[in-house]
Protein backbone atom coordinates (compact mmCIF):
# COMPACT_ATOMS: atom_id res chain seq x y z
CA UNK A 1 0.00 0.00 0.00
CA UNK A 2 1.51 3.32 -0.99
CA UNK A 3 1.38 6.58 0.90
CA UNK A 4 -1.55 8.03 -1.02
CA UNK A 5 -3.70 4.99 -0.44
CA UNK A 6 -2.89 5.02 3.24
CA UNK A 7 -3.85 8.65 3.69
CA UNK A 8 -6.96 8.14 1.61
CA UNK A 9 -8.00 5.33 3.89
CA UNK A 10 -7.34 7.47 6.96
CA UNK A 11 -9.39 10.30 5.47
CA UNK A 12 -12.19 7.88 4.76
CA UNK A 13 -12.18 6.59 8.33
CA UNK A 14 -12.25 10.12 9.74
CA UNK A 15 -15.18 11.02 7.53
CA UNK A 16 -16.97 7.86 8.56
CA UNK A 17 -16.45 8.70 12.24
CA UNK A 18 -17.74 12.23 11.62
CA UNK A 19 -20.80 10.77 9.94
CA UNK A 20 -21.40 8.49 12.96
CA UNK A 21 -21.20 11.55 15.25
CA UNK A 22 -23.77 13.44 13.17
CA UNK A 23 -26.08 10.43 13.05
CA UNK A 24 -25.96 9.93 16.81
CA UNK A 25 -26.56 13.65 17.37
CA UNK A 26 -29.42 13.80 14.89
CA UNK A 27 -31.22 10.69 16.08
CA UNK A 28 -30.49 11.56 19.70
CA UNK A 29 -32.01 15.02 19.39
CA UNK A 30 -35.00 13.60 17.52
CA UNK A 31 -35.43 11.05 20.28
CA UNK A 32 -35.50 13.83 22.89
CA UNK A 33 -38.10 15.85 21.02
CA UNK A 34 -40.24 13.21 19.29
CA UNK A 35 -40.17 10.31 21.72
CA UNK A 36 -39.43 11.87 25.08
CA UNK A 37 -41.43 14.93 23.97
CA UNK A 38 -39.02 17.59 25.25
CA UNK A 39 -39.90 20.76 23.36
CA UNK A 40 -36.69 22.10 21.75
CA UNK A 41 -35.82 25.72 22.47
CA UNK A 42 -34.82 28.24 19.81
CA UNK A 43 -31.08 27.76 20.22
CA UNK A 44 -31.53 23.99 19.97
CA UNK A 45 -33.23 24.56 16.64
CA UNK A 46 -30.32 26.61 15.31
CA UNK A 47 -27.94 23.84 16.30
CA UNK A 48 -30.22 21.25 14.70
CA UNK A 49 -30.27 23.24 11.46
CA UNK A 50 -26.49 22.91 11.35
CA UNK A 51 -26.32 19.29 12.44
CA UNK A 52 -29.01 17.57 10.40
CA UNK A 53 -27.71 18.38 6.88
CA UNK A 54 -24.25 17.12 7.86
CA UNK A 55 -25.58 13.54 7.98
CA UNK A 56 -26.22 13.77 4.22
CA UNK A 57 -23.20 15.89 3.30
CA UNK A 58 -20.82 13.41 4.93
CA UNK A 59 -22.50 10.46 3.25
CA UNK A 60 -22.10 12.08 -0.15
CA UNK A 61 -18.47 12.88 0.74
CA UNK A 62 -17.80 9.30 1.77
CA UNK A 63 -19.21 7.78 -1.41
CA UNK A 64 -17.74 10.25 -3.85
CA UNK A 65 -14.33 10.27 -2.15
CA UNK A 66 -14.59 14.02 -2.27
CA UNK A 67 -11.79 15.76 -0.40
CA UNK A 68 -13.56 19.11 -0.73
CA UNK A 69 -16.26 17.92 1.68
CA UNK A 70 -14.23 19.85 4.22
CA UNK A 71 -15.24 23.11 2.55
CA UNK A 72 -18.93 22.30 2.52
CA UNK A 73 -19.18 20.97 6.02
CA UNK A 74 -16.94 23.42 7.86
CA UNK A 75 -19.38 26.38 7.72
CA UNK A 76 -22.16 24.26 9.21
CA UNK A 77 -19.89 22.90 11.91
CA UNK A 78 -18.59 26.39 12.70
CA UNK A 79 -22.05 27.93 12.98
CA UNK A 80 -23.28 24.97 15.03
CA UNK A 81 -20.28 25.24 17.30
CA UNK A 82 -20.92 28.94 17.78
CA UNK A 83 -24.56 28.37 18.83
CA UNK A 84 -23.63 25.42 21.04
CA UNK A 85 -20.98 27.52 22.77
CA UNK A 86 -23.37 30.44 23.22
CA UNK A 87 -26.08 28.09 24.50
CA UNK A 88 -23.75 26.66 27.13
CA UNK A 89 -22.58 30.09 28.24
CA UNK A 90 -26.22 31.06 28.61
CA UNK A 91 -27.03 27.91 30.53
CA UNK A 92 -24.20 28.37 33.01
CA UNK A 93 -25.19 32.01 33.46
CA UNK A 94 -21.97 33.42 31.99
CA UNK A 95 -24.07 35.27 29.43
CA UNK A 96 -27.27 36.73 30.90
CA UNK A 97 -30.60 35.66 29.42
CA UNK A 98 -32.74 38.46 28.09
CA UNK A 99 -35.92 38.86 30.12
CA UNK A 100 -38.76 37.49 28.07
CA UNK A 101 -42.51 37.38 28.68
CA UNK A 102 -44.14 34.05 29.35
CA UNK A 103 -44.94 32.67 25.94
CA UNK A 104 -45.56 29.21 24.64
CA UNK A 105 -41.87 28.87 23.80
CA UNK A 106 -39.30 27.13 25.89
CA UNK A 107 -36.55 28.79 27.84
CA UNK A 108 -33.09 27.97 26.55
CA UNK A 109 -31.87 27.49 30.10
CA UNK A 110 -34.41 24.87 31.12
CA UNK A 111 -33.04 21.55 32.14
CA UNK A 112 -34.38 18.37 30.60
CA UNK A 113 -31.60 15.97 31.33
CA UNK A 114 -28.94 16.14 33.96
CA UNK A 115 -27.07 12.86 33.75
CA UNK A 116 -24.38 12.26 36.36
CA UNK A 117 -24.88 15.84 37.46
CA UNK A 118 -23.14 17.52 34.53
CA UNK A 119 -24.35 16.11 31.19
CA UNK A 120 -26.99 18.34 29.62
CA UNK A 121 -28.41 18.39 26.10
CA UNK A 122 -26.58 21.60 25.22
CA UNK A 123 -23.42 20.07 26.68
CA UNK A 124 -23.80 17.04 24.40
CA UNK A 125 -24.32 19.37 21.46
CA UNK A 126 -21.15 21.33 22.24
CA UNK A 127 -19.25 18.06 22.58
CA UNK A 128 -20.55 16.81 19.22
CA UNK A 129 -19.74 20.01 17.33
CA UNK A 130 -16.27 20.21 18.92
CA UNK A 131 -15.65 16.59 17.97
CA UNK A 132 -16.73 17.33 14.40
CA UNK A 133 -14.45 20.36 14.24
CA UNK A 134 -11.52 18.24 15.46
CA UNK A 135 -12.31 15.43 13.01
CA UNK A 136 -12.55 17.89 10.13
CA UNK A 137 -9.19 19.35 11.14
CA UNK A 138 -7.56 15.90 10.98
CA UNK A 139 -9.38 15.13 7.77
CA UNK A 140 -7.94 18.21 6.13
CA UNK A 141 -4.50 17.39 7.51
CA UNK A 142 -4.36 13.85 6.10
CA UNK A 143 -5.99 14.70 2.79
CA UNK A 144 -3.49 17.41 1.94
CA UNK B 1 -15.55 -4.61 4.51
CA UNK B 2 -16.56 -2.26 1.73
CA UNK B 3 -17.96 1.19 2.27
CA UNK B 4 -21.46 0.53 1.07
CA UNK B 5 -21.91 -2.43 3.35
CA UNK B 6 -20.50 -0.58 6.34
CA UNK B 7 -22.74 2.44 5.80
CA UNK B 8 -25.80 0.31 5.12
CA UNK B 9 -25.27 -1.81 8.22
CA UNK B 10 -24.66 1.32 10.32
CA UNK B 11 -27.91 2.77 9.02
CA UNK B 12 -29.75 -0.41 9.93
CA UNK B 13 -28.17 -0.37 13.37
CA UNK B 14 -29.17 3.28 13.88
CA UNK B 15 -32.74 2.56 12.79
CA UNK B 16 -32.93 -0.44 15.10
CA UNK B 17 -31.58 1.55 18.04
CA UNK B 18 -33.94 4.46 17.40
CA UNK B 19 -37.11 2.47 16.96
CA UNK B 20 -36.19 -0.12 19.55
CA UNK B 21 -35.37 2.67 21.97
CA UNK B 22 -38.64 4.46 21.34
CA UNK B 23 -40.59 1.25 21.78
CA UNK B 24 -38.89 0.53 25.11
CA UNK B 25 -39.23 4.13 26.25
CA UNK B 26 -42.94 4.27 25.46
CA UNK B 27 -43.51 0.89 27.07
CA UNK B 28 -41.82 1.94 30.29
CA UNK B 29 -43.77 5.22 30.31
CA UNK B 30 -47.21 3.87 29.40
CA UNK B 31 -48.15 4.21 33.04
CA UNK B 32 -46.88 6.27 35.94
CA UNK B 33 -44.51 4.03 37.89
CA UNK B 34 -45.96 2.72 41.14
CA UNK B 35 -43.54 4.66 43.35
CA UNK B 36 -44.84 7.91 41.84
CA UNK B 37 -48.55 7.16 41.85
CA UNK B 38 -49.11 8.80 45.22
CA UNK B 39 -48.27 12.10 43.48
CA UNK B 40 -51.24 11.72 41.13
CA UNK B 41 -54.10 12.03 43.58
CA UNK B 42 -53.92 13.79 46.92
CA UNK B 43 -56.74 13.40 49.42
CA UNK B 44 -57.29 17.16 49.59
CA UNK B 45 -57.53 17.64 45.83
CA UNK B 46 -60.81 18.77 44.33
CA UNK B 47 -62.83 15.95 42.78
CA UNK B 48 -65.59 16.33 40.22
CA UNK B 49 -67.95 13.44 39.48
CA UNK B 50 -68.55 10.23 41.38
CA UNK B 51 -65.86 9.94 44.08
CA UNK B 52 -66.11 6.13 43.97
CA UNK B 53 -65.79 5.90 40.19
CA UNK B 54 -63.37 3.29 38.95
CA UNK B 55 -61.91 5.50 36.25
CA UNK B 56 -59.97 8.50 37.44
CA UNK B 57 -58.94 11.37 35.22
CA UNK B 58 -56.28 13.58 36.75
CA UNK B 59 -55.86 16.98 35.15
CA UNK B 60 -53.02 19.35 35.94
CA UNK B 61 -54.08 22.81 34.85
CA UNK B 62 -53.11 26.44 34.96
CA UNK B 63 -55.95 29.00 35.11
CA UNK B 64 -54.01 31.27 32.72
CA UNK B 65 -53.57 28.54 30.11
CA UNK B 66 -55.76 28.89 27.04
CA UNK B 67 -55.66 25.20 26.14
CA UNK B 68 -56.80 24.33 29.67
CA UNK B 69 -59.73 26.65 29.19
CA UNK B 70 -60.66 25.00 25.91
CA UNK B 71 -60.37 21.49 27.40
CA UNK B 72 -62.49 22.29 30.44
CA UNK B 73 -65.97 22.09 28.81
CA UNK B 74 -64.80 19.10 26.77
CA UNK B 75 -63.77 17.10 29.82
CA UNK B 76 -66.83 18.22 31.75
CA UNK B 77 -69.00 16.94 28.94
CA UNK B 78 -67.30 13.52 28.98
CA UNK B 79 -67.97 13.36 32.72
CA UNK B 80 -71.60 14.15 32.11
CA UNK B 81 -71.87 11.20 29.74
CA UNK B 82 -70.55 8.75 32.34
CA UNK B 83 -71.61 10.20 35.67
CA UNK B 84 -71.13 6.93 37.60
CA UNK B 85 -67.96 5.64 36.03
CA UNK B 86 -65.79 8.74 35.92
CA UNK B 87 -64.23 11.19 38.27
CA UNK B 88 -62.00 14.15 37.54
CA UNK B 89 -59.31 15.17 39.99
CA UNK B 90 -58.23 18.75 39.43
CA UNK B 91 -54.62 19.55 40.29
CA UNK B 92 -52.73 22.80 39.94
CA UNK B 93 -49.77 23.46 37.68
CA UNK B 94 -49.39 27.24 38.08
CA UNK B 95 -46.61 27.69 35.51
CA UNK B 96 -47.56 31.17 34.29
CA UNK B 97 -46.56 34.36 36.06
CA UNK B 98 -48.86 35.05 39.02
CA UNK B 99 -50.89 31.89 38.41
CA UNK B 100 -49.97 30.89 41.95
CA UNK B 101 -52.27 33.62 43.31
CA UNK B 102 -55.07 32.77 40.92
CA UNK B 103 -54.88 29.17 42.06
CA UNK B 104 -54.99 30.37 45.67
CA UNK B 105 -58.19 32.28 44.83
CA UNK B 106 -59.78 29.11 43.43
CA UNK B 107 -58.69 27.11 46.45
CA UNK B 108 -60.04 29.81 48.81
CA UNK B 109 -63.33 29.84 46.90
CA UNK B 110 -63.59 26.15 47.73
CA UNK B 111 -64.01 27.12 51.38
CA UNK B 112 -67.16 28.94 50.27
CA UNK B 113 -68.21 25.86 48.27
CA UNK B 114 -67.64 27.82 45.09
CA UNK B 115 -64.69 25.97 43.58
CA UNK B 116 -66.15 25.31 40.14
CA UNK B 117 -67.96 28.64 40.08
CA UNK B 118 -64.65 30.43 40.69
CA UNK B 119 -62.82 28.34 38.11
CA UNK B 120 -65.49 28.93 35.51
CA UNK B 121 -65.64 32.67 36.00
CA UNK B 122 -61.84 32.88 35.89
CA UNK B 123 -61.79 30.92 32.64
CA UNK B 124 -64.66 33.01 31.29
CA UNK B 125 -62.68 36.23 31.63
CA UNK B 126 -59.27 34.69 30.88
CA UNK B 127 -58.85 36.83 27.75
CA UNK B 128 -59.23 39.94 29.89
CA UNK B 129 -56.91 39.23 32.81
CA UNK B 130 -54.42 36.77 31.36
CA UNK B 131 -52.80 38.67 28.53
CA UNK B 132 -50.25 36.55 26.78
CA UNK B 133 -48.25 39.45 25.50
CA UNK B 134 -47.43 40.90 28.89
CA UNK B 135 -47.83 40.14 32.55
CA UNK B 136 -51.29 39.00 33.58
CA UNK B 137 -53.39 41.50 35.44
CA UNK B 138 -54.79 39.28 38.15
CA UNK B 139 -56.16 42.29 40.04
CA UNK B 140 -58.99 42.29 37.50
CA UNK B 141 -60.22 38.94 38.81
CA UNK B 142 -61.57 40.49 42.03
CA UNK B 143 -64.25 42.28 40.06
CA UNK B 144 -65.36 39.09 38.29
CA UNK B 145 -65.65 36.86 41.36
CA UNK B 146 -68.87 38.37 42.79
CA UNK B 147 -70.56 37.23 39.56
CA UNK B 148 -70.03 33.66 40.85
CA UNK B 149 -71.56 34.61 44.20
CA UNK B 150 -68.22 34.70 45.96
CA UNK B 151 -67.61 36.86 49.01
CA UNK B 152 -64.38 38.59 47.95
CA UNK B 153 -63.45 39.94 51.39
CA UNK B 154 -63.79 36.47 52.89
CA UNK B 155 -61.80 35.05 49.99
CA UNK B 156 -58.95 37.50 50.51
CA UNK B 157 -58.71 36.44 54.14
CA UNK B 158 -58.92 32.75 53.33
CA UNK B 159 -56.17 33.03 50.73
CA UNK B 160 -53.69 33.75 53.51
CA UNK B 161 -54.33 30.41 55.19
CA UNK B 162 -51.28 28.18 55.32
CA UNK B 163 -53.35 25.11 54.31
CA UNK B 164 -53.98 26.68 50.92
CA UNK B 165 -50.31 27.42 50.48
CA UNK B 166 -49.52 23.83 51.44
CA UNK B 167 -51.94 22.40 48.87
CA UNK B 168 -50.48 24.49 46.03
CA UNK B 169 -46.90 23.73 47.03
CA UNK B 170 -47.74 20.03 47.13
CA UNK B 171 -49.27 20.23 43.66
CA UNK B 172 -46.21 22.01 42.28
CA UNK B 173 -43.96 19.38 43.86
CA UNK B 174 -46.12 16.68 42.28
CA UNK B 175 -45.79 18.24 38.82
CA UNK B 176 -42.03 17.84 39.20
CA UNK B 177 -42.34 14.24 40.41
CA UNK B 178 -44.61 13.32 37.52
CA UNK B 179 -42.68 15.30 34.92
CA UNK B 180 -45.60 17.60 34.08
CA UNK B 181 -44.07 20.28 31.86
CA UNK B 182 -47.04 21.66 29.99
CA UNK B 183 -50.68 22.25 30.75
CA UNK B 184 -53.14 20.71 30.61
CA UNK B 185 -51.60 17.36 31.43
CA UNK B 186 -53.96 14.41 31.74
CA UNK B 187 -53.58 11.03 33.39
CA UNK B 188 -56.33 8.46 33.07
CA UNK B 189 -55.96 5.68 35.64
CA UNK B 190 -52.30 6.69 35.94
CA UNK B 191 -51.74 6.45 32.21
CA UNK B 192 -50.43 9.73 30.80
CA UNK B 193 -51.89 11.19 27.62
CA UNK B 194 -48.91 10.54 25.34
CA UNK B 195 -50.07 12.26 22.17
CA UNK B 196 -51.87 15.47 23.03
CA UNK B 197 -55.30 16.19 21.61
CA UNK B 198 -59.02 15.99 22.32
CA UNK B 199 -59.51 12.89 20.17
CA UNK B 200 -56.55 11.20 21.86
CA UNK B 201 -57.90 12.07 25.32
CA UNK B 202 -61.34 10.75 24.43
CA UNK B 203 -59.73 7.51 23.17
CA UNK B 204 -57.66 7.12 26.32
CA UNK B 205 -60.72 7.64 28.54
CA UNK B 206 -62.80 5.21 26.43
CA UNK B 207 -60.10 2.55 26.73
CA UNK B 208 -60.18 2.88 30.51
CA UNK B 209 -63.95 2.86 30.97
> Residue A32: pLDDT above 50?
yes
Q: Which residues of B touch A103 (CB under 8 A)?
A: 132
- Evaluate whether B168 touches B100 at the Cβ level (below 8 Å): yes
Contact A102 B132 (CB under 8 A): yes
Tell me whether residues A20 and B10 touch, CB distance under 8 A: yes
- Of the pLDDT bands very low, low, confident and very high (cuts 50, 70, 90), residue B90 is very high
Please, what is the average pLDDT of chain A? Answer: 85
Length of chain A: 144
Position A98 scores a pLDDT of 59
Question: What is the pLDDT, as a whole number, of residue B132?
Answer: 62
* Predicted pLDDT at B1: 60
Q: What's the pLDDT at A109? A: 63
CA of A27 to nearest chain B CA: how many angstroms apart? 7
Q: What is the mean pLDDT of residues B71-93?
A: 93
State the CB neighbour count (10 A cutoff) for residue B70.
12
How would residue A133 be classed by pLDDT, with cut points 50, 70 and 90?
very high
Predicted TM-score (pTM) above 0.80: no
Contacts of B132 in chain A (CB under 8 A): 101-103
Residue A101 has pLDDT above 50, yes or no: no
- Judged by a CB distance cut-off of 8 A, whether residue B140 touches chain A is no
pLDDT at A111: 65
Among A5-19, A35-49, B24-38, B112-126, which range has the highest average pLDDT?
B112-126
**Which band of pLDDT confidence, cut at 50, 70 and 90, is reported for residue A106?**
low
Residue of A23, A62, A101 lying closest to B134 (CB–CB): A101
* Chain B residues near residue A39 by CB distance under 8 angstroms: 181-182
Partners of A8 on chain B (C-beta within 8 Å) are none
More confident residue, B87 or A99: B87
Q: With bands split at pLDDT 50, 70 and 90, how would you rate the model's confidence at B173? A: very high
Cβ-Cβ contacts under 8 Å for A106 (sequence gap 6 or more): A39, A40, A41, A42
Q: Are B161 and B168 in contact (CB under 8 A)?
A: no
In B, minimum Cα distance to A103 occurs at B132
Tell me which range, A34-43, A45-54, A99-108, B21-30, is most confidently predicted by mean pLDDT: A45-54
pLDDT, residue B166, reads 93
B26 contacts A62? CB cut-off 8 A: no
**B97/A contact by beta carbon, under 8 A:** yes
Residue B116: pLDDT over 60: yes
Could you tell me which chain B residue has the CA closest to the CA of A61? B3
B117/A94 Cα distance (integer angstroms): 47
Lowest-confidence segment of A128-132, B34-38, B132-136, B150-154 by average pLDDT: B132-136
Q: Is the ipTM of this complex over 0.85?
A: no
Give the pLDDT score at A100: 43
What pLDDT, on the 0 to 100 scale, is given for residue A84? 94
In this structure, are residues B36 and B178 in contact, taking their beta carbons and an 8 Å threshold?
yes
Question: B184 versus A1: which is more confidently predicted?
Answer: B184
According to the model, what pLDDT value does residue A103 have? 40
Between A53 and A99, whose confidence is greater? A53
Overall average pLDDT of the B38-45 stretch: 89
Interface size, chain A vs chain B, as Cβ–Cβ contacts under 8 Å: 41
Asked if the bond preceding B184 is cis, omega within 30° of 0, the reply is yes
What's the burial of B134, exposed, middle or buried (CB within 10 Å: 0-12/13-18/19+)? Answer: exposed
Q: What is the pLDDT of residue B179?
A: 83
Asked if A95 has any chain B CB less than 8 Å from its own CB, the reply is no
CB-closest option in A35, A59, A63 to B22? A35
Residue B186 belongs to what H/E stretch?
Answer: strand B185-188
Give the pLDDT score at A104.
Answer: 42
C-beta neighbour count of B95 within 10 angstroms: 19
pLDDT at A131: 96
Which pLDDT belongs to residue B73? 93
- The alpha carbon of residue B113 is apart from the nearest alpha carbon of chain A, in Å, by 32
CB contact under 8 A, B6 and A16: yes
* Neighbour order of strands in the sheet with B46-49: B46-49, B86-92, B55-61, B185-188, B191-192
DSSP string, B148-168: GT--HHHHHHHTT-HHHHHHH
Question: Pseudo-torsion of CA A60, A65, A67, A70, nearest 10°?
Answer: 30
| Residue of chain B whose Cα is closest to the Cα of A38 | B181
Amino acid sequence: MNQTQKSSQKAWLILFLAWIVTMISTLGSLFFSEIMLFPPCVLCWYQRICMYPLTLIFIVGIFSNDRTVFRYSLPLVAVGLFFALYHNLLYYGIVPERLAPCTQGVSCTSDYIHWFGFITIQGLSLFAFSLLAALLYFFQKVSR
Amino acid sequence: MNKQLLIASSLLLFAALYFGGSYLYQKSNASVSSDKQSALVRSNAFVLGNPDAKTTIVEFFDPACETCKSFYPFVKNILKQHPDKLKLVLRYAPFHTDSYYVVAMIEAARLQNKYLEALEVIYKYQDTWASHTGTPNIGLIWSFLPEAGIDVEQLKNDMKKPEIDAIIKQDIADTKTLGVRATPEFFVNAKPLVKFGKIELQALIDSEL
